[in-house]
Amino acid sequence: MSDLKPQTRHIADRLESPLKLAVFSWPSLLLVVAIALFILNSFMSPYFLSAWSLSDATFNFTEKAIIAFAMALLIISGEIDLSVAAIIALSSTIMGLCLQLGFGTSELVFVGLFVGVLCGAFNGTLVVGLGLPSIVVTIGTMSFFRGISFIILGDQAFNGYPAEFAFFGQGYVWWVISFEFVLFLFVALVYFVLLHKTNFGRQIFVIGNNATAAQFSGVRVKRIKFILFCLVGLMSGIAAILLTSRLGSTRPSIAQGWELEVITMVVLGGISILGGSGTIQGVFIAAFIMGLISFGLGLLNVPGIVMSIFIGALLIIVIALPIIAGKIKSRLKA
């Protein structure tokens, strides 16, 4: 019916340049905060600006950040996994058990990853298969996984990991650049590409915004959510290997409370806790900020319990901030 369309109207791709949008984004703000913290730390301690102490500081966040990248994807899709720290404990415990059976380094690594994926798949099956809310499921598996570790270990610890195994958590690739830090950069890159440059990543955003419309558009919502739970499990398995290697031992209380730090990192990175938006760049910078904060508090000799108060407060602030900002915005409009 050509008479209804006398001429085609041209529609622009974009009206605002991507560069301008990037400058006024949450990650840019985070970057400013990170630089400020860096300067603050260097004034507070004369030792901070040495290559080795900077390198040491990275261990504060690399393991958590490796989980945080996968967690970011899961939270964007509208789910959450609170059992990550418990997965580390179980994965580390099973590695320790296999160590007693005489497993070598490569087998231990395989076991660590395998247990992680298995735990993730277990969470995924309960959430996707049975349609249970992930927050409830993973509160349950949080106790469940760590409970198994306690049963196996009691108040004992597994020690005596092989010397080669120590490389993952203690080794250096070049000068002060640790293996963990390189792995962190690599994982960040992989997740950046996965979330922002692939069809899979696009579908995660769509699911998080409107899972029904995603399903009605032919997106395999359940499959993608299941894969994301497995990915979080896998990354927790990797973190378990790194942490076990770094500590050189396994206790059932290993990585206690990490789930909150991981989630704080994700939310601070600008991932909406309600799902549907956020960037890997943001989480990447947030990881550095968390590292700088805990390093700085360490320099001030702040005890651990105060640190956890600080993390809790930070979590509330970063969740509340965008919601309050949104309210102010809509009030200004009205």
Partner 1 sequence: MQNSVIKLSGISKSFPGVKALQNVELELYRGQVTSLIGENGAGKSTLVKTMTGIYQPDEGEISVNGKVVVLGSAHDAFSHGITAIHQETVLFDEMSVAENIYLGHTPKTKFKTINWKKLYSNATNILKDIGASHINAQTKLKEISIANKHLVAVARALSVEADIVIMDEPTAALSHKEIEDLFQLVEKLKNDGKAILFISHKFDEIYKIAERYTVFRDGQMVGRGMLSDTSQDEIVQMMVGRSVDQIFPKRNASIGAPVLHVENYNHPTEFADINFELNKGEILGFYGLVGAGRSELMQALFGITKPSSGTLTISGQEITLKGPADAVNAGIVYLPEERGKQGVVLDLPIVENISLPSLHTTSKNGFLKMANEFALARKYAERLDLRAASLSQNAGTLSGGNQQKVVIAKWLAVEPNIIILDEPTKGIDIGSKAAVHSFMAELVAEGLSVIMVSSEIPEVMGMSDRIIVMRDGLMVDIFQNNEDLSAETLIRSAAGIEEQVA
**Residues at the site binding partner 1, with contacts judged by CB under 8 A:** 1, 4-5, 8-16, 193, 197-203, 205-206, 209-210, 212-220, 276-277
Smallest distance, Å, CB 199 to partner 1? 4
7 exposure class (CB count in 10 Å sphere: 0-12, 13-18, 19+)? exposed
Which residue number, 5 or 331, has a Cβ lying nearer to partner 1? 5
**Cβ contact 308:257 at 8 Å:** yes
Residue with Cβ nearer partner 1 (21 or 39): 21
User: Nearer Cβ to partner 1, position 217 or 308?
Assistant: 217
* Coil, helix or strand at residue 236: helix
250 beta partners: 158
In whole angstroms, give the CA distance from residue 26 to residue 270.
6
Q: How far apart are CA 68 and CA 254, in angstroms?
A: 18
CB of 206 to partner 1, least distance (A): 6
* Pick 61 or 205: Cβ nearer partner 1: 205
Query: Is-contact 57 295, C-beta < 8 A?
Result: yes
Q: Specify the residue, 109 or 195, whose C-beta has the smaller distance to partner 1.
A: 195
3-state secondary structure of 177: strand
Q: How far apart are CB 241 and partner 1 at their closest, in Å?
A: 28
Provide, rounded to whole angstroms, the least separation between the CB of residue 201 and partner 1: 8
Smallest gap from residue 237 Cβ to partner 1 (A)? 24
d(CA 280, CA 276): 13
